[in-house]
């Protein structure tokens, strides 16, 4: 699973491994959250909810001006030329990560359009999906096989990495080159058995995801809804540092 056109990633500072999802109603709420978290967080995900608001691009520019890294999670899916045009627009704003869904031609067009330091991530299988969902969708394979297959295709297309549940990371890391950037959503500060029910079915704790090989973890509600969001972000950062030290990387 190696594409010579995909370059090895530079070392990732531990502080940049936590990506906080700005899953809030508008740009004003997003700014308040960023300001409240302060120096505890330097990487943010802006997704579809905010993309439907009028100040979306102003928010992206503001984050960049504040020295924050930006993950645009819009899961682009359209005809290849349209996806390529969208990637060029986003890359011109200096965003760090862009997600794309799609077939080989779509991913290839998106990869050809990226520029600068923008990195393209392919979505493998949403963390809201489980075996029953795949059966309903007609996939005759388990989630791990699907993720591995899509990761192979993404790298062949020129993508820089994947968004994947932590549950599939061990197998993915065993077969993927070090150049593959892995971003893991569905992170919860407690184990799956203890977590309250929500729309994420394949979840991991921050330490578990880092130990499995995640480059970045995405945390939303556990920080946003905490009684003290900045304290919770700081606690997760410490958990990441401890996990990194334990795996010796």
Domain residue ranges in the chain:
14-247
CATH superfamily of 14-247: Aldolase class I (3.20.20.70)
Distance in angstroms between the alpha carbons of the first and the last residue of the chain:
22
pLDDT tens for the chain, 249 residues long, are 545 455 556 789 999 999 999 999 999 999 999 999 999 999 999 999 999 999 999 999 999 999 999 999 999 999 999 999 999 999 999 999 999 986 789 999 999 999 999 999 998 754 444 444 344 444 445 556 777 877 888 889 999 999 988 777 887 887 766 678 999 998 988 644 444 445 444 578 999 999 989 999 999 999 999 999 999 999 999 999 999 998 875
Catalytic residue among 45, 75, 114, 201: 75
pTM given for the model: 0.86
For tokens 């090895």, the residue is: 8
Q: Where are the strands (E) in the chain, listed by range?
A: 18-21, 43-47, 69-76, 97-100, 119-123, 161-163, 181-184, 216-219
75 is catalytic: yes
């Amino acid at each position: 699973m190696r594409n010579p056109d995909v370059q090895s990633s530079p070392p990732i500072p531990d502080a940049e491994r936590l990506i906080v999802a700005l899953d809030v109603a508008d740009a004003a709420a997003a700014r308040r959250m960023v300001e409240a978290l302060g120096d505890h967080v330097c990487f943010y995900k802006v997704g579809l909810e905010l993309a439907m608001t009028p100040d979306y691009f102003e928010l992206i520019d503001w984050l960049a001006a504040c020295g924050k890294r930006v993950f645009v999670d819009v899961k682009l899916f359209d005809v290849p030329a349209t996806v390529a045009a969208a990637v060029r627009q986003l890359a011109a704003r200096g965003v760090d990560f862009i997600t794309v869904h799609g077939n080989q031609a779509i991913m290839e067009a998106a990869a050809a359009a990226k520029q600068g330091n923008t990195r393209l991530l392919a979505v493998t299988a949403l963390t809201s999906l489980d075996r029953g969902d795949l059966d309903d969708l007609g996939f005759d394979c388990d989630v791990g096989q699907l993720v591995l297959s899509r990761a192979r295709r993404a790298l062949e297309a020129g993508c820089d990495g994947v968004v994947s549940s932590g549950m599939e990371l061990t197998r993915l890391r065993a077969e993927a080159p070090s150049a593959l950037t892995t971003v893991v959503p569905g992170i919860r500060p407690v184990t799956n058995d203890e977590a309250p029910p929500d729309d994420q079915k394949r979840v991991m704790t921050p330490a578990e995801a880092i130990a499995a090989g995640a480059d970045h973890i995405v945390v939303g509600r556990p920080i946003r809804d905490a009684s003290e969001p900045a304290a919770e972000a700081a606690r997760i950062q410490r958990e990441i540092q401890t996990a990194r030290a334990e795996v010796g990387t």
